[in-house]
Amino acid sequence: AILRENFIHFVSRDAMNIKGSGITIIKLLVEKALLTNITDIYRLKEERDKLVSLEGFGETSIDNLLNAIESSKKTELHRIIYGIGIPGVGEVTARNLCNHFDYDIDAIINANHELKEVMDIGNITASSISVYFSYSDNREQLNQLLEWCSWSKPQKKTQWFKDQTWV
């Protein structure tokens, strides 16, 4: 049940936004052992024959799912960090982490005391992030996701009226 919930969170709109991968589909893919790790979602294309043999999966729904998975590969780093499900790290906290560490994933992974300097992160969340990344399996999973996905640092928004005085 925990694995299924992790997948549902990962594919959600606020995380990787994989359309067509609802609760029923995730439950089926977990039950059939096609999804055992979050990174397996990006290997489903290789399992197309197994998908076709599943009840309730037609060619169109498989194509739509695989296309949505492919589209999710081009994303933003904070969505990946939010999607991996670090306890206490919501979408805003993930975005704040990325901004604070200038989208340097190694700095985020290796941060300890610096985490408390990030906006909206207190002792409990900082500890949760440190503990999460202290496990090599979690770091490896994130590295695999980063190999599958491409992301770029968002461009700073232009502040049109900065340093201007209007009368």
Contact 24, 4 (CB under 8 A): no
Mean model confidence pLDDT for the chain = 90
Provide DSSP, the chain: -HHHHHHHHHHSTTTT--TT--HHHHHHHHHTTS-SSGGGGGGGGGGHHHHHHSTT--HHHHHHHHHHHHHHTEE-HHHHHHHTT-TT--HHHHHHHHHHTTT-HHHHHH-SGGGGGSTT--HHHHHHHHHHHHSHHHHHHHHHHHHH-EE-PPPPPP-TTTT----
Return the minimum-mean-pLDDT range out of 35-44, 52-61, 80-89.
52-61
Displacement of CA 54 from its chain's centroid (Å): 26
Confidence at residue 111, expressed as pLDDT on a 0 to 100 scale: 94
42, 75 contact by CB (below 8 A): no
The whole-model pTM stands at: 0.86
Residue 158 has pLDDT above 80, yes or no: no
What is the model's pLDDT at position 89? 96
User: Does position 19 have pLDDT exceeding 80, yes or no?
Assistant: yes
pLDDT confidence of residue 160:
60
**Which CA distances in Å does 66 have to 48, 58, 78, 117, 157?**
9, 12, 22, 40, 33
Task: For residue range 84-132, list pLDDT tens digits in order.
Answer: 999 999 999 999 999 999 999 999 999 989 999 999 999 999 999 999 9
Residue that has been written with the tokens 């609760």 in this structure: 23
Is the pLDDT at 164 greater than 80? The verdict is no
pLDDT on residue 78: 94
Query: Looking at residues 56-85, what average pLDDT do you find?
Result: 92
Q: Tokens standing for 19?
A: 């359309």
Average pLDDT of span 121-146: 95
